[in-house]
Structures are given as structure tokens and as C-alpha cells.
Amino acid sequence: MEREDGVKIDRRRFLQALAAIGVATACGPAAAPGSASASPAPSAAAKAVSLEWWRRNYTPGSQNAETVTSDGAVKGFRARNPSYTISIQGGPFGPETDQKFDIAILQQKAGPDVFHTTGGDVLKYAAAGQLSEPPLTAAERSDFNPSALTATTYKGKVVAYPLWIVPWFEYINLDLFKERGVTPPKDGNWTYEEFLDAAKKLTFKRADGKQIYGFAHANDEFAFMLIDGGRLYDKDVRKWTFNSAEAVSGLERWVALAKEKVMPPDFLTLNPNDSQARFISGEIAILQRPSAMINVLNADAKWKYGTNWDIANFPKGKTEQTAWGGVGFIAVREQTDADKKAAAHVFAKYLTGPDIGPDLKAMTPPIEYWLAPAARTSAAGIYGEYHAAKAKVAKMGSFTYVLPNVSTWSEIDQKYLRPARDAALEGKKTAKQALDEVAPTAQRLLDEANK
Amino acid sequence: MLSLQSARIVGGEFIGLQNFVTLAEDPVFRQALGNTVLYSLVVVAAQLTLALVVASLIQPLGPRSRTFYRALFYLPLVNSAILIAMVWRWIFNANPYGLANTVLGAFRLEPLLWIGSSDQALAAVILSAVLTIPGGGVVLYSAAMSSLPRELYEAAEVEGAGALTKWWYITVPLLKPTTLYLLVIYTILAFQVFERVYVMTNGGGPNNATITIVQLIYSTAFQFGRYGLASAMAVVLFIMAVAVAVVQFRSLRSDVEY
């Protein structure tokens, strides 16, 4: 089989592609493409360019954060660049949309001009040569958070624009602290020992039989394994180091929480939605969740910031203050159309830059663009302006540990590390045994990723 | 063909039987295999027995009552499997307010961790399947019982056989073709267990205690991007299903005519 452009496709490759498309189509609901804005006549000064932006969870007409902020972003961008037209394609969060991205970008070498992406995907697309390198000036480079820039670096080159850093931290129920006479951490700072002591005091049964737990997490992070200085990889991301003495010590601190029974008994299978619901229903005093929960609490009239709830840093271990977090990126797909590619970079810079926040805030009604602290210093200020709690979160970026990009990370994490961690938390293995057992397999998968 | 390749979303090369060697050496796959076999053995046996017993209890009723109960037992099948799994997740919640723990509390028994413990999670998942009355089996057995010849029962009654004797020596043997059909179908369905695990234990936790082959195929293909390896798992599952079906056909093949 030969395409018009002379590229040969053998039958096996064609059938593989067809099967993969079939699987993705069968597994995922069809994402309705939607135009985010009307397309007035472009100005005479700039060449008219039409771009496609792929944004997970974008649903035309919906009021979800991804849709509202994306529509606002396009409106703000077009006010500055009227000759560019942007259409947005959505798709639910989850593997089916990930497949849609992979098939379009990796197999068809088509699809989005600009897209949102996360850690492992950046590496995957960069390795396939499908990302266009951002034309960053030296000043722009120094404007980005270094760890965020490292997370988007592939073979020494920055391959996407860091958008934001999403830190995890502790939400505290001030009513429960007051009820038990526990002093909230001053300025949000506490040591692990102070944290554990508070969690113990906050675990109690009321006279009506209602059980309150001092602490919960949604079983989706490794926060405690970092606080004594443990890190997953060495500096060059070549060696698995998550069985170091520091990582073992961190896991032991986590195990201590299970031993003290300050967490609900289903903590190993607690999912994010359930954990949030239980915090809101007053069953949990301290909950470890990322910044997006601030908006959830703000939307609830019963929860007043500073009166009923506050936020605090991760408890501090043996090393400097640490937090755990993820990074979101905006990427530009590599393509031969130079005009489109250049326009896509202009748009990507706008999406990650300092102008978009004020532009959207000035709209009627104002739109809160930054759902997490920006990964650029020049864009960081406005996130803190949205809310007093966010002003605190904005300062966490400096000590947030961002996971380096490793394409086999999800396999290391889900198949091996989480089960090992479960075994330690259940008391079936010591922290050292659990982490030592994972190390050889994790190293093999890391080597595979580095090939 | 994919099972013989190191296929990822892009690229991949022929690697012979390497994927199968990898599976043989993978402790997580072995655990998934063991869990799937144990789940299938218990659930298939329990569902067949339950379907047969419930259908037998319905059979003596009048036509209207029989239809009512058939519909009643079949009704849960029209519900979303995910929805049912979510209900079971709540029933076997490790907190004291989980329904199973509430029942234990009523008998002054200590609450269990159920799906919150790697020792009890698989048992809870199996129990959730066992306690779901197999509506399809009830309807098929009930229909098959309606077509059994009355003369055999009348002859047995003349000989002085009781209800239980007639059931054991006439009903059960004559239902062998239906039993064989249900056995094969239920075994295949049990091998494919996925949504129950995906919802109840977040996809195989804690500590991989409830991981099953189809759950592992899903994560290997769609989360880890190893399509070749996932295909090899699917081939193993297919061979298992065929092998078990052949054994079942050979052992239950019947020349019964009536």
C-alpha cells in the first residue's frame, strides 16, 4: 500500500493501526469537537492561521473548570491575535483519551497543534520526535521553575512549556482542632512529630458513636517517603534510589500512621472523591490533597476559610521542607507547516505566560485561569490573588518535588511500588524489605526508559 | 500476532515467544492467574448450585408466581455492572458503617477489614459474586425443568420416591445439557472478571491481592502501553478458557434423551 506522498504502509502496520483505532473508539466516548470562538476576519497585518487545541475534559457548553478556562483563554488570546482561529477538542480524563492522543500524535502524526499533557507523555512524544522545541529566550528559561523545566527536558532539550505545578498539602478542619483542643500548625509549618501527635489527638469517637480520624490521604501519593530526603532517582535519573535509608525512613513514618490507627481502616483503597467527601462531612481532621480542593471547599457555604478550614504544609522530616507535586505542560506538535507551528508557539506561550491571568480576570464575569500555581515566576502572582489559601499554596512551588519524566513510571508505580508500599503499611513486610524488593525491577524499567 | 511482538503504540518487532517467557517469570501475572482461577472455581460452583436450587424452589409454584420470580431474579442483570460493583464496594467497606460490618455488629461480632485488607479482599470480591443470584441461570434452569417429562416423576412416585430423591435422581441428571451450557458460560465469564475488581479494590489492590488477568491486561495495554505483552496475556486466557471448556464438555457430555 502506498500513500500519495510516497510513504509505504505495509499491511501489518495498517491492520495494527486499524486495530488500535478500533480499540480506542470502542473504549472511549466520542469527543465532540467544539469551536471555542467565532472566527472573525483576520487582521491584514498577520497571516490567518487556524489552530487545533486538544484539552482533556473540555466539554462545549459545560461549566467545568477546563471548559470555562479554555474558552476564556481562546477569547483572551484572540483579542490579542485576531488573525488566529482556535478550535478546541475535548475528551474525558482517562486512558481512552490518552489513547486518542497517542494514536493521533504517534501513529497518524496529525491531530492537535497545541495540547495539554503531563509527565510521561512528554517523554513519549519527545522520543518519537513529535514535539516542537519551544523557542525560549534565556530570560524566559530563567523565569520557569527549574524543577518544572527539568521535568520537561528530553536529551538536554526543553520540549514543552511547563504550565503549572500542582502541590499536594494538608487541609485541616479547624472545627475538629478546636473541639479536641489541638493548636493548628503556626503558619502552616509542623514537624512530623507534631503532625503525628495532632493526628492521634484528633482520632476519637464522639458520644453519639461517630468515629473521627485524625488523618487521611487518597492513596495516590508518596509524600511521606520524601520528607526525610528519599528520592526516586539519582540526579541524572539513571539510578533507582527509592530504597535508600532516607526513603525507608520516610516509609516507616507512613507506616507509623497506620500502626497508630489515625487513618480510616479503608485507607488502602480510599479514592480521592471518597476522601474529600469524608473530609467535608467532618469525619477526617487532616486530609492530604492537591490544590484543586480549595475550590471545592469554597463552593460549600458551610466551609469558611480561616474559620472552618485552613491549609498546612507537609510535615517536615529530617531534611528541608518538602512537598510532593505534579506538573502540567503545554506542548506544540512538530509539523511541516511553519506558519501553524509558529502560531502554535505564540499560543502556547500565551497559555503559560504572565498575560493570560490578568486577561481572564478582566473578563465579565472574571475567569480564574490558574487552577494551580504557575510554573513561571512572572505568572505566579495572580494565583495567590484568587484566594488567601492559594496565596499560601503559591509559595509551595519552591519546595515541591516534581517527579522527573520516566516513560515506564506508571508501570513501576502501579505494578510494583504501590503493592510493596501496601505490604509495608499492612505490616506484612518491613519498610526496608518492601523497598528493597522493588528496587531491581524498578531499575530494570528505568534502564528500559533510558534506552 | 501482537503477542509475538514487543508492540507498543508505535513500533515493535517480532520477538518470538519472549512475551510468554516474561509472563512466566512475572510474579504479578502468576498472582493474577492464581486469583482468577480461585475466583472462577468458587464463583462458578456457587452460581451453578444457587441457580439450580433457586430454580428448583420456583418450579413447584403456579405459572404466574413462577414468571414473577423468574423476572425478579433476572432483574438485577439489567443493571450496570459498575453500579452493582459500587454497591458491593459500600457493602464491604472496611469502616463500621459498611453494610457487612453493620450486620456483623448486629451479632456483636468485630468488624472486618474486607476490601481494605490484602488477606480478606479477594474473599470479599468472591463473596460479592457468590451472593449475586445468577438470574440467567435461574431462568434457563427453570425453563429446562418445565420441559422435563412428567412420566418419569409419576413412575418414581409409584415407587415411593420422595421429593429430594426425585430431584437428585431425575431432575439433576436430566438437566445435564443445561448445566453444561451454564458451566461453560459461567466459567468464561468468571475468567473475564474485571469491573468488580476495578471498582471494589481500585483495580487489584491492596498489595495486588485481588488482581485478575483481565485487570492486568487492561493496565498492561492501556496504562503501561505494552500491547504485545497484554496480547500474550489474552492468548493465555483464551487457551485456559478453551482447555477448561474441552474438559467440561468431555466430562459432562451426555446422551440423555427424553
What ipTM describes this predicted complex? Answer: 0.87
Contacts of B94 in chain A (CB under 8 A): 264-266, 269
CA triplet B173, B178, B179: central angle to 5 degrees?
65
CB A266 to CB B202 under 8 A? no
Domain ranges of chain B: 37-213
Closest Cα partner for A222 from A250, A195, A200, A244?
A250
Q: What is the pLDDT of residue B254?
A: 66
Say if A142 is an interface residue toward chain B (CB within 8 Å): no
Each residue of B50-91: pLDDT tens digit? 999 999 999 999 989 999 999 999 988 888 889 999 999 999
Alpha helices per DSSP H over A205-292: 245-259, 272-280
CA triplet B213, B216, B218: central angle to 5 degrees?
110
Say if B136 is an interface residue toward chain A (CB within 8 Å): no
Say if B149 is an interface residue toward chain A (CB within 8 Å): no
**Least reliable range by pLDDT among A396-400, A428-432, B112-116, B235-239:** A396-400
Q: For residue A418, what is the nearest residue in chain B, using CA coordinates? A: B207
Q: For residue A409, what is the nearest residue in chain B, using CA coordinates? A: B224
Cα gap A422→B117, rounded to integer Å: 9
- A338, amino acid identity: A
- B95 to chain A, minimum CA–CA distance in Å? 6
Q: Give domain B37-213's CATH architecture.
A: Orthogonal Bundle (1.10)
Of A16, A98, A268, the CB nearest to B205: A268
Cα gap A384→A389, rounded to integer Å: 8
Rg (CA), chain A: 23
DSSP A77-133: HHHH-TTEEEEEE---SSHHHHHHHHIIIIISS-S-SEEEEEHHHHHHHHHTT-BPP
- A193 to chain B, minimum CA–CA distance in Å? 26
Helix axes A11-27, A95-102, angle to 10 degrees: 150
Q: How confident is the model at residue A45 (pLDDT cuts 50, 70, 90)?
A: low
Place of cell 509542623: A190
- Tell whether the torsion through CA atoms of A157, A160, A161 and A163 is positive or negative: negative
Average pLDDT over residues B17-30: 95
CB A423 to CB B207 under 8 A? yes
Contacts of B224 in chain A (CB under 8 A): 408, 410-411, 414-415
* DSSP annotation of A156: T
Each residue of B174-200: pLDDT tens digit? 999 999 999 999 999 999 999 999 999
- A292, amino acid identity: A
Say if B105 is an interface residue toward chain A (CB within 8 Å): no
Q: How confident is the model at residue A220 (pLDDT cuts 50, 70, 90)?
A: low
CB A12 to CB B1 under 8 A? yes
**Least reliable range by pLDDT among A151-155, A273-277, B118-122:** A151-155
CB B222 to CB A416 under 8 A? no
A167 and A334 Cβ atoms separated by less than 8 Å: no
Q: What is the pLDDT of residue A23?
A: 42
Average pLDDT over residues A212-229: 88
Helices (H) and strands (E) in chain A, counts: 18, 13
Say if B112 is an interface residue toward chain A (CB within 8 Å): no
**Least reliable range by pLDDT among A3-12, A167-176, A383-392:** A3-12
Say if A135 is an interface residue toward chain B (CB within 8 Å): no
Peptide bond before residue A365 is cis, with ω within 30 degrees of 0: yes
B210 and B201 Cβ atoms separated by less than 8 Å: yes
Of A99, A410, A419, the CB nearest to B208: A419
Each residue of B134-188: pLDDT tens digit? 999 999 999 999 999 999 999 999 989 999 999 999 999 999 999 999 999 999 9
Say if A416 is an interface residue toward chain B (CB within 8 Å): yes
Average pLDDT over residues A264-291: 92
Mutation site, B3, B8, B9, interface A, largest A CB count within 10 A: B9
Q: Which helix (H) or strand (E) holds A15?
A: helix A11-27
Closest Cα partner for B129 from B199, B64, B39, B198?
B39
Q: How confident is the model at residue A218 (pLDDT cuts 50, 70, 90)?
A: confident
Each residue of A176-190: pLDDT tens digit? 999 999 999 999 999
Q: Does residue B252 surpass a pLDDT of 70?
A: yes
Place of cell 472552618: A308
**Average pLDDT taken over every residue of chain B:** 92
Helices (H) and strands (E) in chain B, counts: 14, 0
β-bridge pairing A284-290 and A211-217: parallel
Return the SS3 of A23. Answer: helix
Q: What is the pLDDT of residue A37?
A: 34
Q: Does residue B236 surpass a pLDDT of 60?
A: yes
Q: What is the pLDDT of residue A334?
A: 95
Say if A271 is an interface residue toward chain B (CB within 8 Å): yes
Of A102, A103, A266, the CB nearest to B95: A266
Each residue of A81-131: pLDDT tens digit? 999 999 999 988 877 788 888 889 988 888 899 999 876 678 778 888 999
Cα gap B73→A69, rounded to integer Å: 48
Q: What is the pLDDT of residue B144?
A: 94
Between A142 and A33, the higher pLDDT residue = A142
Mutation site, B114, B207, B212, interface A, largest A CB count within 10 A: B207
Rg (CA), chain B: 22
Q: What is the pLDDT of residue A2?
A: 41
Contacts of A98 in chain B (CB under 8 A): 222
Between A167 and B211, the higher pLDDT residue = B211
Closest Cα partner for B182 from B148, B127, B143, B131?
B143
Cα gap B48→B134, rounded to integer Å: 8
Of A219, A265, A423, the CB nearest to B94: A265
Q: What is the pLDDT of residue A10?
A: 52
Q: What is the pLDDT of residue A123?
A: 77
**Average pLDDT taken over every residue of chain A:** 86
Cα gap B191→B208, rounded to integer Å: 17
